[in-house]
Structure 1
Amino acid sequence: MKILKSFLTTVAASAALLAGMPASAQAPGPIRIGSTLALTGPLSATALTHKLVGEIYVEQLNARGGLLGRKVEWTVKDDQSKPDVARTLYEQLVTSDKVDLLMGPYATGAILSAMGVAQRYNKVLVHHTFGIPSLAKYDMQFPAWSLGADPGNTVSNMLFDAMAASGKPPKTIAIVTSKFPSIHFMSLAGREVAKKRGLQEVLFLEWDFGNRDFGPIAARVKDAKPDLVWIGDIGLEGNMLLDAMKKIDYTPPNHFHLYPAPGPMTKSADGANALSLTIFEEHAPFTNNPVAADFVKIFNERAAKAGLPDTSVEVQAAASYSAWQILEAGVKGANSLDDKAIAAYLRKNRVNTIQGNLRFDGPSNYGDDLMKLKQVQNGKWLVVYPTQFAAPGAKLIVR
């Protein structure tokens, strides 16, 4: 009886002691990761994909035990597709919300704003869709968008190499582009590469980001009669331009899109044979990776329930998932939430992702250019070049 009373007294004393201890002395709370996404505005069609991917990854991460033995919580705020709003919200995440880690937003402008905040507070910023590597001056930022350090040349040459390999290289080109920063950068670089390769430029036009009247541009393209239309688009801009072309009974013989909204492009009849860039599509050899195959299955189901316009895993979803893989690898590799320790680990080590093995020891922390060329065929995006990554039986269609 005395032993039982002694035991109960000890338990009660321990409980009282724990109850009186400050929160910091008790079991640590969840690790909080903060970010913004363009949940509204002209970039929302694509940003919603990134939101769903983040939710899936955090669920999977917590099912594996979280990070450093702690559960993970993700706070995401709406930057309204505006870089200045993203800047303000990242300030709030660091100073008011006091998140432990940051994840980048969607699109180059917002990422550049977030990068400035991360640099001010010495925070690691992993990001998934930054399109101008030369502007990434901060040494604690890490890209999942594996364009390589010189995409203006490597990506443009890949497109023209692929078309030349088909036996039907274009002789004339029309370049029409948004002034959205990363889009404009890639289009201007593509323009120079086209000239060096001997293509005749029959038209060059620009529009302001947010433009919705593509009728005049469509008419100019039709009159120019190019073999290839280079469309520097982001989000739904490409769909709107193709729709404007259809209204004047014009179908471009070949059309390349930089960053279209993936689902709407495949769902539109006007999107047939559209060309674009990718790092991953949900077919072999990419789905030979069991982690990738599992993610594809989960994303397909969740995207259908969420009513997303595209339920397939493609470049945007894959880049987003890779970004989370990079952040997890950095924390676990450093065995710490210290941003400098995480950055040091990532710079020295490769990270295996669903798009491939990534390194961060090149210019601006970029590694290899892993971009591939894909095409809309039978209502689906299929990789067509390089051929070793092509979907089974798929070949580039050039008209």
Structure 2
Amino acid sequence: MSVSIDAVYRAESRRVLATLIRLLGDFDRAEEALHDAFAAAVEQWPRDGVPANPRAWLVSAGRFKAIDNLRRRARFDASLALLADQLDAGDEAEVWDGEAVEDDRLRLIFTCCHPALPADAQVPLTLREVCDLKTEEIAHAFLATPSTIAQRIVRAKAKIRDARIPYQVPALNELPERLDSVLRVIYLVFNEGYSASSGETLTRTDLSREAIRLGRLLLELLPEPEVMGLLALMLLHESRRAARASADGELVLLEDQDRSRWDRELIAEGSALVERALTSRRFGPYTLQAAIVAVHAEAEDAAATDWVQIVGLYDVLARVTPSPVVELNRAVAVAMRDGPEAGLALVERLFARGELLDYHLAHAARADFCRRLGCNAEARESYRRALALARQEPERRFLERRLQQLGE
């Protein structure tokens, strides 16, 4: 039974939390109610069995536990008694309204991305509260320390409470200004699921699927070109999931993947969204990235990849959203078009500027260029640096194999 409760926690806890925040109007109160609900489940489910709808059971249990806690504390604060009465008077049909529940996580994302919150806190807060990512995982994604991320999350929650930031999806006229942060959140959630920042496995399917679900919801709510572009990007990446790892969980590079295992339905859907977004001429970085992935998807094999077109798309992307990571990805594409020496020069230029020195994929790219050029000593040095920085076990094993191939 404990295994079943663990499985329900992994599958439903964030959805339950989002609904409890809507019902209770407070992050901390909802988190306490979530813990109380699962504590009740641990006590009752082994005796009574897992309910037919665990999520509904947990939401109801958490709500009633919160009401009880408020009434106990009302001895010290009379306003809590009034709040408890208001919560208790809620219509049960309204509490478990299917449409409202379906939108709760999207509503929570917009709350976490409210413009009143500091920009550097919006995404970490959403990743923590919506997706239950650990502080360490978020810190790795942001190249920050866990203590820094934890402080940002605590301050953001306090700001939501003290400023009484509304827990709602913004009106249509407010959506565009709030959209950039929301898109960034959803994509970071997807990335953590598609290529886990740390741990034993290459991917976390639950997170990438949830990001795609949120992307579909957002597209239904706001059919803007960049929403199409983001959803297309996630679908096209997701289409390759089955081929990204071997049967024993080892990393398989894009050039070595069995393309017959790519999901052609996801590729067709993603490619159609890319075309729609590009036709609008109001697209941005997500659409451009999706267009790059679509070029890969169109190639029958690695040798048929149109690297000229990919480099051209990276040139546009670098102008729209200049960043060291975009430059690194462009360097990889240039190396495929013009040879490893050209790619190495671009990476060396990044390092000379002091950029991406702590990014393991930059050192892995440099190592690969050196390996292909026959500069084995330099390749080993860069592989060792990449290995020291990598935190995901399949990536670490891949780097170790490369070092072994080079005689170390």
With normalisation by structure 2, the TM-score equals 0.22
Looking at both structures, which has the greater relative contact order when contacts are Cα pairs under 8 Å and sequence separation is at least 6? 1
- Please state which structure has a larger fraction of its residues in strand: 1
With normalisation by structure 1, the TM-score equals 0.22
